[in-house]
A and B are shown apart, each in its own frame.
Chain A
Amino acid sequence: MNPYQPPSSEVLVDIYRRMVLIKQNDERFRAVIKSGKLVMPYYSPRGQEVIPSAVSTCLTDDDYICTIYRGVHDMIAKGVPLKELWAELGGRVTGTCKGKGGPMHVTHPASGVMVTTGIVGSSMPIANGLALAAQIRGEPRVAIAYFGDGAANIGAFHESLNMASVWKLPVVFVCQNNGYAEHTKYAYGTSVPNIAQRAVAYQMPGITVDGNDPIAMHRVARDAIERARSGGGPTLIEANTFRFHGHVFGDPDAYMDQHEKAAWVAKDPVPLFRAWLVAAKHATEEQLAAMEARHTAEIDAAVEFALSSDYPDLAELRRDIFKDEALA
């Protein structure tokens, strides 16, 4: 392993670019849902921006991710184009999946988003398969499995970590521990203080990291991805973070400890990192403001594109069941 070099200004600003792009999109998703123009189940990732933003700066388009229903931040960080993303969430034919997948099944192989699942725990077994293909073919690709803390209590987690370890697969398991499994607080349903402890059972490195600290997150992700790429096998990363909103849009989150929530929101990683970048002279206020203005314009265009696009033709009900449409 190379000694850790702190990220360059360019990388740091790139992490922020992805973070703020997620935040700006999240704010717009919620606004447009409230306006009634977008109707979908929405699992806000607000508060969890750092994790996929830092991870994605260590990946290329050739690397794969499998993510979950609370995964729009993972998709945006990995580079899914906003127009196609918004159109998919709008159920439009111009969406990544022609509107047939929706928010819980966004797929965009060109940017490496291979599977998005609505089933807790199911990103991991499939990420193993993507890594297996890379291993058999001798390709230097890495697969990332994103999942939440709740998924660490389902059988697929344990089967997947064991198999990945036995086969030394080039996969990184990134647990975004936001403290809640749906409405249930972490400690109520999890036997260990830290998910990363479970890596011991599978003979792989397990690292708990502050998932809201961009530099710490980058370092852990970079090391794990490098290990996977060089044949060193899988890593379990537990990135601690917090979900600023309820489980799903419209959830009044009465089960959440409001003091705890307020404390996390007060440490919102997006403005904190922004202020640090400026103070440490990695970027100027003007640069970041210009970046954010560009994002706003891109999101404006994406919303317009999505809402003005057509819905899929009803013939789509017969398409993509089997390769041969006549069989459906």
Chain B
Amino acid sequence: MNQTSTDINTIQAVNLALDDAMAADVNVIVLGEDVGDGQEGGIVGVTRGLSTKYGDSRVRSTPISEQAIIGAAIGASIVGMRPVAEIMLMNFTTVAMDMIVNHAAKLRFMSGGQTHVPIVIRTMTGAGFGTGGQHADYLEAWFAHVAGIKVVAPSTPADAYGLMLSCIEDDDPCLFIENLPTYWNPGTPPERGVQIPLGKANVVRSGTDVTVVTYSRRVHDVMAVAERLGTAGVSVEVIDLRTVSPLDTETILTSVAKTGRAVVVHEAVKPFGVGAEIASRIYESLFRELKAPVQRVGSRFCPVPFSKPLEDAFVPGAVEIEAAIRATLE
């Protein structure tokens, strides 16, 4: 990838968002495993420099205790702090599910609105680095299935910056998913201080023949296929959800009403996934206007494999994406 002098990567973009948020609001705190500079500011350095700048009280490296990390964030948020808690890898959210699902997501409702939980849970994931079955899953559908939590999955450094600012300022719990293998990919820099609204999708490519709905890393794969098909005379509209939940149904339906064809692409495994939800919403509203059945593309229904050829075949690639698009055109 060509990097210009002003480009930044997602590590730098999230770091910048945290830095700007901490500078603007003393209630913003960061906690998680290895996040402090004494521990090198995180295993890939997303929080590097923050504890030196804002102190060890506001930027706390924690024990490897995911329940205690999220619990501490929840408790502090109830009384007005804005904690950004890091759960290093998305698979590790499984050991904090009680705190996230039973507490963070539900306390506003169960208290009748007397308390709320303005936390951000940062987590990274994604296949491609040979980390095997417990370090690379996309589990966003699990969280999107729970009322009360927002699920955000940026695809570019600039989006990561603007969406992170929104998540920190948002009064509800937000799960913020960062893709690990593309952390170092450069992108255009964000506009400092400008938030990107939650719950609003981004139409990243206009087209007239087919709509592809995607998010996180797979936006880039879809865009590459769309550009190639464009030269072959197929006009593909690409929607980057940015926020998985609440889902921007309106943007999806507007696009599909125009194209009459839809494909959903995500890295999470296909069965019972976000693609199924989006396909259902399209059918519920646009069944008679569809020119073809909605296609879903996701990872194979197995644990993330280690061996490189298996891992490469596990995730949806250009071949599967193009085949799904072409299937809607037949």
Contacts and interface: CB of A to CB of B under 8 A. Distances in A.
Most buried by B among A97, A125, A131: A125
Contact of A105 (B111, B172, B199): B111
A156 B60 contact: no
A328 interface: yes
B135 interface: no
Contact of B99 (A101, A114, A122): A122
Interface string A112-127: 0011011100101111
A166 B112 CA distance: 34
A130 B110 contact: no
B148 A322 contact: yes
B2 interface: no
Interface string A60-102: 0000101000000000000000000000000000011111110
A95 B78 contact: no
B58 A107 contact: no
Contacts of B63: 159, 162-163, 166
A102 B171 CA distance: 23
B70 interface: yes
Interface string B305-321: 00000000000000000
Interface residues of B, number: 46
Contacts of B199: 327
A129 B73 contact: yes
Given A114-B79, A117-B103, A143-B75, A159 B115 contact: no
A98 B113 contact: yes
Most buried by A among B29, B66, B107: B107
Contacts of B110: 97, 100-101, 105, 107
A321 interface: yes
Contact of B171 (A114, A126, A127, A323): A323
Contacts of A327: 199, 246
A278 interface: no
Contacts, number: 150
A319 interface: yes
A122 B74 CA distance: 11
Interface of B: 29, 57-58, 60, 62-63, 65-68, 70-81, 83, 95, 98-99, 102-103, 107-116, 147-148, 150, 170-172, 199, 246
23 contacts: A66-B75, A95-B112, A97-B111, A98-B113, A100-B111, A107-B107, A114-B78, A119-B103, A122-B103, A125-B67, A128-B71, A129-B73, A129-B77, A130-B75, A130-B79, A133-B75, A136-B58, A159-B63, A159-B65, A159-B67, A159-B68, A321-B148, A327-B199
Given A100-B110, A163-B72, A323-B108, 9 more contacts: A64-B79, A100-B112, A107-B111, A107-B112, A115-B103, A126-B78, A128-B72, A133-B75, A135-B57
